[in-house]
Structure 1
Amino acid sequence: MIHRLLHRWRWLGAWTLANLLLAWLISLRYVGYIQPEGAEQWSYLLMVFLGHLSLLVWLGALPLFLLATLLRGIGLWLVTTLWASGLQLLLLLDTFVYAQYRFHLSGFILDLLLNAGGDVFSFSWVAWALAVGGVLGMLAVQGGLGLLFKRRPPSRPVGAMLAVSLLALLGVHGLALS
């Protein structure tokens, strides 16, 4: 039983690592709005990407690791696919909101989206088609990643990446204090 749980955790760790790489790719959209000058600011930006985004992705995956004690097989795969897709799409939506308004998603923006009707935000059928296509694409990517890592979950890169993430997070906060 413990062996099976460890196998599911290795699988989730590999999936989380793949989602971390995907989150980094999505978050590159923010870099165009940041204008670092010099090697020190670029290294700080790199550590923020490595540290803070890693922390967010690993915290987002934490409920899945807890659910892995209860679920297995297709049930765990389905929940993980939906959960990871939702989080990645939320990050992608945040990059679009930031590109448009220069601030991140918040309760205020969600309230505008949900309660203002068409007064503030109106979307064309093309925007809706792109959104539906994006959701379906993300579900396909997440589902494919889950199946790929279920067959062969790598264990070494996950631990190494977790260590790099923690060191980068400590480095960011160490630089911020100095």
Structure 2
Amino acid sequence: MHIETPPTQRDTPKPQGERRGLVMVHTGNGKGKSTAAFGLAARAHGRGKKVKVYQFMKVPSARFGEHRLFEQLGIPIEGLGDGFSWKSRDLDHSAELALAGWAKADATIRAGEHFMVVLDEIMYPLRYGWIPLDAVLTCLRERPPQVTVVLTGRNAPAELITLADTVTEMTLVKHHFAAGVPAQRGIED
């Protein structure tokens, strides 16, 4: 490890623009995309901002760690799907749920009542063609200027990356699955 001297002056200019809602994308093959989005939701909620979380791949009855915490905090979180595609018994039904879920999310974003709307794991239904990419891009472009939208999932489309204000790619360096350690409550959920 290289030891360095801490900076004593800011090395980037301070932004002078107007504050506004953002489009933020968390993508990549590494862990932490949803976790980072949930952290943003918690941070906004902690500042008294109205937040809504939609999960495109979780069932409405899901009770994972984030659901339990958000329920305690008073952050609404809604599962819109029926699980990941490899668990689905009917992919046509999964597609219908995704499209109906998008209609809810679109209406919430356009209403402008929330400071932040999280679209967790939306990249799956986008990649599967269950939700039209153009509809999402149009909604993001036309959203009220104060609304921040956070979108998560692997393989974000290039058009979404171009539109976004902030894009973070989580890079897989090492994963415990490779060593045979299974998913754990409180880590993967």
TM superposition score normalised by structure 2: 0.25
Greater share of helix residues, 1 or 2? 1
**Which is bigger in relative contact order (C-alpha 8 A, separation at least 6)?**
1
Greater share of strand residues, 1 or 2? 2
